[in-house]
Amino acid sequence: MTDLRHPLHLLASAEFARAYTIAVLIAVFGSFAIERLSSPLTLATVIVVLALIGVAVLFARRDELSLLRLAPTSLLGFLALALLSVVWSTDRSDTLAGWASLLGYAVLAITVGHVRDTLQTVRAIGDTLRWLLIVSLSLEVLSGILLDVPFKRLGIEGALAAGGPIQGIFGTRNMLGFVAVIALITFVIEWRTRSVSTPVAVGSVALGAFLALLSASPTVVVLAAGVGVASLALMIVRHAPAERRNMVQWALGAVVVIGLTAAFALRHQIIRVLDAGSDFSMRADLWNTILDFVPDNAILGHGWVGAWHESEFPYIYINILLDQHHQSALNAYFDVLLQLGWAGLLLFLVLGGVAIVRSWLVASVRRSVVYAWTPLVLVTLAIDSMFESFTLVGAGWFMLVLCALRAGQSRSWRESIDAAHTGTMPTLPVK
C-alpha cells in the first residue's frame, strides 16, 4: 500500500492525479471567468502554480515515464521557434509572455496526458464540461429571464429570452459553440462506453446540443457537419474487414480531398446557406490584409505574441486599415503564418496533422470506442482553426497538445526505440 504521507508518494498517487486533472480542466476551460472575476494576474498565477505542480508530479512519476516519449517532437519544435522569435520580435517582453502562456498550458496538457489514460481523460473532461455548461445555462437564465439584467463582467448579455445568442462563462458565442461541440463528442463517448448512467448521458447530450444551438455561432454548423462526417467515416473503417481496411482508408481519403475541393468551389453558396455572408466577408478582408504583411517576414514571421496586442506592429496597422479591433486573425493558420512565418506554420501543421493520422489509425483498429475521442476532437480543432484562433491559446491549445500527446503514445517512432531497449515490441489489438 502506497504511503501517502511522503510528498512524492502523494504526488504520484492516483487520487492526486484525479484531483489535479479536475483542477487543471476547471482552470483551463474556466479561464475567461477566472480572468474576468479577478484579474489576468490571478489567472497567470493559477496556471503557473498548476504547471509547477505538474512538473513535480512528472518528477514523482519519473520511473514510469520515458524521456523520449514525454512530448511530441513537433510540439517541442514549435515551442522552440516561438521562444527563438524573441530575437526578431518587435516587443520581446510580449513575446516572452506569449511563449510562457504556450509553455504553461502545454505543461498542464503533458502532465494530464501522462497521469490519466484515454478513458479517465474523457471522464474528467466530461465531468468538468457538464458542470461548466450547467453554470453557463444557469447564469444565462438568471441574467436573461429572472433578473433581465446583463452580467457585463462575464460578458453575458442576457439574450436568452430572445433565443440567443448566448455566451455563458466562455466570453463569446463562438467559444461557447466550440466548447459545446467538444462537450458533445465527450458526452457521446461517455454514453457509448457506459462511463455514466443513461439518464446522465442523455441529459448531458441534450444540454450540450441546447447550448450549441443557443450560441447561434455560424461555426457550430460547420463543426457539427465536419464531426458528423468524420464519425461516419471512422465507423465505416472500424467495421470494415481487416484485409480491406487500408483500401477503405485510401478511398475515404480521396473522398475527403474531393469534398474539400467541392466545398471550396461552392464556398459562396455554402456561405449563403449558413447565412454567414457578412461574418465571412469580414474574415476574408482580415485575411487578405494579413497576407499583405506576411512577405515582410515570410519565413520566420514577426515574432510570437499569441493574442494580438493592438498597439504593436503589425497588428495596429491591420486594425487601422480595417477600422476594426481584432485580437486575433480569426484563423489559427493565418495567425501562425503572421507570427512565426512559413516555418512555424509547417511545424503547426505537422503537429496537428501527424496527431490526426496517428489517432485515426489507432481508433480504426482498437476495439473500444473511447479511442475515437482523440481523432474527433482533433478534427474539431482543425476545422475550428479555419474560423477562429482558439487552438493557439488557452483551452484550444491545451486540447491540441493533450490530443497530440495521446496520439503519439500509441503510434510513434519513440515507441520503437523504447521497444528496442526493452526487447518488447508494441502491438495494437486488431478488431
Per-position pLDDT tens, the chain of length 431:
455 556 777 888 889 999 999 999 999 999 999 999 999 999 999 999 999 999 999 998 888 887 778 889 999 999 999 999 999 888 888 899 999 999 999 999 999 999 999 999 999 999 999 999 999 999 999 988 888 888 888 888 888 888 879 999 998 999 999 999 999 999 999 999 998 999 999 999 999 999 999 998 888 988 998 899 888 888 888 877 777 878 888 887 788 778 778 776 766 666 666 555 566 778 888 888 888 888 878 889 889 998 888 777 888 888 888 888 888 888 999 999 999 999 999 999 999 999 999 999 898 888 788 999 999 999 999 999 988 999 999 999 999 999 999 998 765 544 544 444 444 334 444 44
C-alpha closest to that of 145 among 157, 129, 134, 155: 157
d(CA 147, CA 145): 6
361-364 long-range contacts (CB < 8 A, ≥24 apart) are 361/411, 362/407, 362/410, 362/411, 362/428, 363/234, 363/238, 364/234, 364/237, 364/238, 364/245, 364/249
> What would the CATH number be for the domain defined by 122-216?
1.20.1440
SS3 156: strand
Residue 320 φ then ψ, to 5° = -65, -45
The CA–CA distances, whole Å, from 280 to 174, 272, 322 equal: 13, 10, 14
Cell 496526458 sits at which residue? 113
- CA dihedral (50, 51, 53, 54) in degrees, to 10, reads 120
Q: Name the H helices within 215-314.
A: 218-239, 245-265, 267-274, 277-293
Q: For the chain, how far is it from start to end, CA to CA, in angstroms?
A: 36
CB of 339 closer than 8 Å to CB of 312 = no
Question: CA 52, CA 58: separation in Å to the nearest integer?
Answer: 10
CA distance 211 to 3: 44
Q: What is the CA radius of gyration of the chain?
A: 22
Q: 252-259 contacts: CB < 8 A, separation 24 or more?
A: 259/229
Cell of 128: 468538468
Q: Are 35 and 55 in contact (CB under 8 A)?
A: no
466548447: which residue's cell? 179
What is the domain partition of the chain in residue ranges?
Answer: 1-64, 71-95+219-413+425-431, 122-216
Q: Is 344 helix (H, G, I), strand (E, B) or coil?
A: helix
- To the nearest 10 degrees (0 to 180), the angle between helices 332-365 and 373-384 is 160
Element (H, E) at 27: helix 14-29
Number of residues that make up the chain: 431
